[in-house]
Amino acid sequence: MKNRAILFLTAITALFIISFTISEKKDTLPVPDKNNGGLILPGKFRAVVVVDSLAGRARHLAVNSNGDVFVKLRFPDSIGGNVVLRDTNHDGKADIIKKFGNYENKGSYGTAMRIHKGYLYFSSETNVYRMKLNPETLIPDGPMELIVHDIHTEHEHDAKPIAFDNEGHMYVPFGAPSNACQEQNRVPGSLGIPGCPLLVDYGGIWRFDEAKPNQLQKDGTRYATGLRSVVAMDWNTVENCLYVVAHGRDDLRLLFPKLFTPWQSAVLPSEEFLKIKEGTDVGWPYYYYDPIKKKKLLNPEYGGDGKKEGDGAKYAQPIMAFQAHWAPNDLLFYTGNQFPKRYKNGAFIAFHGSTNRSPYPQAGFFICFVPFKNGMPAGPWEIFADGFTGHTTVVSVSDAVYRPMGVSMGPDGSLYVSETEHGKVWRIFYQGDKTKFTSAQLAKMELRKKLPDFKVPDVLRNNLMSGMLTEGAKLYNTYCVNCHQKNGKGDGNLFPPLSGSEWVTGGKYMQKEQAIRVMLNGLEGPIKVKNVPYNSVMPKHSFLTDDQIAKVLTYIRNNFGNNSSLVTASEVKKVRAGLGAK
């Protein structure tokens, strides 16, 4: 009997030691990568690469209470549009990777991935779904429920990020299929439609029941309006209020070259950090926020000239204004305790990086932090994580090695970051005495604001078009570069590459005719370029002369690695006549 008691106590002790060891191992931070996975971080923040690359790349992500990481794929396939990552040996790196979630209308722009009340919510461009999480299984085994369906077809600004309040509601933006509600979208000189009918179904945020299946837009309530495009959105539980970082409009110079210089187009308008309450009107498409003049100005589509204020002061003003075209694509209010106390309840913002600042360097491409107090920023924005692009100057967006997209908090308070170009995921944590964290640890990061990725460009010194001589190059940099970029590789998301594109290369007349037709007629809707899907708007350029179209196409067909025959004005004239274009 005595021996049995000893054996029993020994077994219990062993079990306790094993359990303690496993528990301790789970709670211990992983060994950081030697170079923090390429990231530049303040003080004693460290990082480990959870996964180096995902087939299908990545959009937003969410981390479960057990540490599993769910990622919305940028390019879904027939297996699924989502992936789950599991780290079984607690070294910080995923050793199990499984795809799941095969659903319709996946699209490359669908973005949501959030965990809420035991469900995994995610979106395509037109639908919001959820699946019940099961703590016993890796992949959610509950049925895929369609929560919200958008009856409209896919279009630009059609991301479907989501946020939840504390009362059973879900918030979903409906981005506007237009730059500024023009009569002809993105056509130079085209004016805005009076009263903007797009605001009936677009350009705002709708509130839905978070659990009711098969809701349509009409089943929801318009919560806020005047928002062209929202991808970064989060509910601040401390303030019990919705916040967004909204994308500003594009193409001031391209659309109104007599009113705006290339420099103004690069630095205007602001990306707006906004506190959103029911009934908030931010002013799109009538107004934009000028971060230099610090006020809302009238859009040129509605009679603005870069100076007129109109009724701009009547609309919601940003609580913080960021530089133009940085592309804010995720927002997270940090509620964890793993980071030093100053980060508690502050806002992390993932800036995806600009495409629209040419002929000046593209900018953004970092994780930003904004300290908060009493529902408002308590200090200037900070560079929290940098080094994504691999360059100090990004000429074209495709030069950026990585572009941050999503941010999520793990169960221990670590910050997880996803990026779109390779599907890389990092885990960032603080390794040191949190009580000894001071502002001195931020000094080196503050110096980085002087780099081209962050600073306001100098009008002359930072103009990358200087020295470009041919008229074809000048035309390209006036009408094409904002979308297709200075290196002709597009932005890898909305705007396709011209480099090696079957749409622009080839020596036969029929191949050239296709490129001419696109220039004259424009192009809208889903297409494939080099077997990659795109869905955006290529505006008509029929306002250019036959000679100008010939020159810009010749430039494109003999640059960016292309080597094709020239296009003549007579060839353009022939196609134009066949289309009935004037």
Q: What is the CATH number of the domain that holds 541?
A: 1.10.760.10
- Distance between CA 241 and CA 548 in Å, rounded? 52
Confidence class of residue 84 from pLDDT cuts 50, 70 and 90? very high
Burial class (CB in 10 A: 0-12, 13-18, 19+), 440: exposed
Q: What is the pLDDT of residues 412-432, one digit of tens each?
A: 999 999 999 999 999 999 999
Shared domain for 416 and 484, answered yes or no, is no
CATH number of the domain enclosing 444: 2.120.10.30
More confident residue, 26 or 31: 31
Question: 277 vs 230, 316, 404, 575, CA distance in Å?
Answer: 15, 10, 28, 52
Q: Is 51 left (phi over 0), alpha (psi -120 to 50) or beta?
A: beta
Average pLDDT over residues 250-268: 92
Shared domain for 428 and 550, answered yes or no, is no
Q: What is the pLDDT of residue 16?
A: 40
Q: What is the pLDDT of residues 122-155, one digit of tens each?
A: 999 999 999 999 988 999 988 999 999 999 988 8
Confidence class of residue 247 from pLDDT cuts 50, 70 and 90? very high
Q: What is the pLDDT of residues 264-309, one digit of tens each?
A: 999 999 999 999 999 999 999 999 999 999 999 999 999 999 999 9
Shared domain for 491 and 444, answered yes or no, is no
Could you tell me if residue 137 is inside a domain? Answer: yes
Domain boundary (450, 480, 511) is at: 450
Shared domain for 390 and 420, answered yes or no, is yes
- Of 438, 402, 451, 442, nearest to 423 by C-alpha is 402
Shared domain for 356 and 327, answered yes or no, is yes
Could you tell me if residue 4 is inside a domain? Answer: no
Q: Quote the distance between the C-alpha of residue 202 and its chain's center.
A: 19
Shared domain for 511 and 414, answered yes or no, is no
Could you tell me if residue 27 is inside a domain? Answer: no
Residues 190, 205 contacting (CB under 8 angstroms): no
Q: What is the dihedral of CA 333, 82, 424, 325, to 10 degrees?
A: -60
Tokens of residue 73, six digits:
């794929």
Domain boundary (450, 482, 507) is at: 450
Average pLDDT, the chain: 90
Could you tell me if residue 9 is inside a domain? Answer: no
Instruction: Give the bridge partners for 369, in sequence order.
Output: 348, 382
Tokens of residue 147, six digits:
């929560």
Could you tell me if residue 337 is inside a domain? Answer: yes
Residues 532, 562 contacting (CB under 8 angstroms): no
Shared domain for 248 and 113, answered yes or no, is yes
Looking at the predicted structure, is the pLDDT value of residue 107 above 80?
no
Could you tell me if residue 422 is inside a domain? Answer: yes
> 537 is in which domain, residue-wise?
471-579
Q: What is the pLDDT of residue 508?
A: 52
Could you tell me if residue 456 is inside a domain? Answer: no
Confidence class of residue 465 from pLDDT cuts 50, 70 and 90? low
Domain boundary (418, 450, 482) is at: 450
Average pLDDT over residues 20-49: 81
- Distance between CA 383 and CA 244 in Å, rounded? 19
Shared domain for 394 and 280, answered yes or no, is yes
Shared domain for 490 and 436, answered yes or no, is no
- Distance between CA 124 and CA 410 in Å, rounded? 24
Could you tell me if residue 211 is inside a domain? Answer: yes
Shared domain for 481 and 441, answered yes or no, is no
Instruction: Give the bridge partners for 173, in sequence order.
Output: 205
Q: Which string of DSSP letters, residue by residue, matches 499-562?
A: TT-TTT--SSHHHHHHHHHHHHH-EEEEEEETTEEEEEEE---TTS-HHHHHHHHHHHHTSTT-
Shared domain for 442 and 496, answered yes or no, is no
Q: What is the number of domains present in the chain?
A: 2
364-375 exposure pattern, b = at least 16 Cβ within 10 A, e = fewer: bbbbbbbbbeee
Looking at the predicted structure, is the pLDDT value of residue 254 above 60?
yes
Shared domain for 49 and 155, answered yes or no, is yes
Q: What is the pLDDT of residues 195-209, one digit of tens each?
A: 999 999 999 999 999
